[in-house]
A and B are shown apart, each in its own frame.
Chain A
Amino acid sequence: MDQNTNLNPETNDRAVQSTQPMESTAVRQFEPHEQIQEQESGQKIPVTWLDQDEINQLRSRWTSIQAQFVDQPRSTVEQAEALVSEAVDRINHLLADLQTSLSEQWCNHEDASTEDLLCTIQDYRTFLYRLLDH
């Protein structure tokens, strides 16, 4: 999704040059906030759910499981199931944490300014679009 990638800090420059007129107008309008928000949300909502070490580790475990299929198809599929369950649990956990940290931004702040709420809604949008993208 274009809107989502546009919110990504790394693609910020491209976001401004977006080919979609609606989108680029919106981005231009909110550019100052967008940048601040992006720096924040870039930390809160990472580009990948898991960190690179964990991704590498899961991938290498997957590779060795895959190579066993020829010798033991059934038990290899069982191992694949276990590894996928583990990854799903990890990501569920991370998503729950992210969700919690987003609600902490506003839930208990009755005095949150419109500006704060604007940042929060942008974070929610980033979060949702990331969910939809993956």
Chain B
Amino acid sequence: MNIQSLLPYLIVAAVVILAALGIALVISRIKSLKLRKKFGTEYDYTVQAEGDPKKAEQALKERQKRVVKLDIHPLDENARDRYNEEWMEIQAYFVDEPKKAVDQANRLITEVMIARGFPVADFEQRAADLSVLYPEFVPNYRNAYAIAKKNEQDGSSTEELRKAMVYYHSLFGELLSPIETKEKELETA
């Protein structure tokens, strides 16, 4: 057999390999896009934190797997009313003690998360777990937390602290909302 008689086979093989590579590339792009679409700014945040898109995507996939395994459930109406009431008390308390109110808001969010079935964890893990179900609210959660942290170190202005409350409240409202949760859980599963 000379090269010439092998050429058609080689061309076919090359085309097949290229096509396979192309398909693999397209699939991985679609997966990336899906993750990007699902996690939004949290995707970029994770890429930055991990320093590499591949690692970040792996981390995000693992988050999804982890959260699907958790028994996250909505709150009953009584609990929701109780937590809402407590939130309004904290919000009113802001007028007297802005810093303490921000800390209490964070504490109440953690309490609600635990009541909903999220595991007890440090802030980064909590944010990661939340990002699977509430990706669009995690930036708010991180912003609020950053303000509270900054406040501990060199003090935040009253306006910053107020914003932290608003950020926390947006996530808090989501955590308490029952319908949204179910849809999202189905989407994830």
Which of A63, A66, A70 contacts B162 (CB under 8 A)?
A70
Inter-subunit contact B92/A67 (CB<8 Å): yes
| A69 to B95 CA separation, bound complex (whole angstroms) | 7
Q: Closest residue to B102 on the A side, CB-wise?
A: A70
Inter-subunit contact B166/A66 (CB<8 Å): no
Say whether B140 faces chain A, with CB atoms less than 8 Å apart. no
How many A-B contacts are there with CB distance less than 8 Å? 22
A70 to chain B minimum Cβ distance, whole angstroms, is 5
Q: A67-B92, A71-B166 given. 19 additional CB < 8 A pairs? A: A63-B92, A66-B92, A66-B95, A67-B88, A67-B89, A67-B91, A69-B91, A69-B92, A69-B94, A69-B95, A70-B91, A70-B94, A70-B162, A70-B165, A70-B166, A70-B169, A71-B91, A71-B169, A73-B162
Which of B69-99 touch A at CB < 8 Å?
88-89, 91-92, 94-95
| A88 to B56 CA separation, bound complex (whole angstroms) | 61
Q: Closest residue to B105 on the A side, CB-wise?
A: A70
A34 to chain B minimum Cβ distance, whole angstroms, is 42
| A69 to B92 CA separation, bound complex (whole angstroms) | 7
Q: Is the interface of B mostly helix, strand, loop or mixed?
A: helix
| A47 to B132 CA separation, bound complex (whole angstroms) | 59
Please name 17 pairs of A and B residues whose Cβ atoms are closer than 8 Å in the assembled complex, sorted by A: A63-B92, A66-B92, A66-B95, A67-B88, A67-B89, A67-B91, A67-B92, A69-B94, A70-B91, A70-B94, A70-B162, A70-B165, A70-B166, A71-B91, A71-B166, A71-B169, A73-B162
B105 to chain A minimum Cβ distance, whole angstroms, is 9
Q: Closest residue to A67 on the B side, CB-wise?
A: B92
A121 to chain B minimum Cβ distance, whole angstroms, is 43
| A55 to B165 CA separation, bound complex (whole angstroms) | 30
| A8 to B162 CA separation, bound complex (whole angstroms) | 45
A65 to chain B minimum Cβ distance, whole angstroms, is 9
Chain A residues positioned under 8 Å from B91 (CB to CB): 67, 69-71
Chain B residues positioned under 8 Å from A69 (CB to CB): 91-92, 94-95, 162
Chain B residues positioned under 8 Å from A66 (CB to CB): 92, 95
Q: Mark A68-94, 1 if CB is under 8 A from B, else 0.
A: 011101000000000000000000000
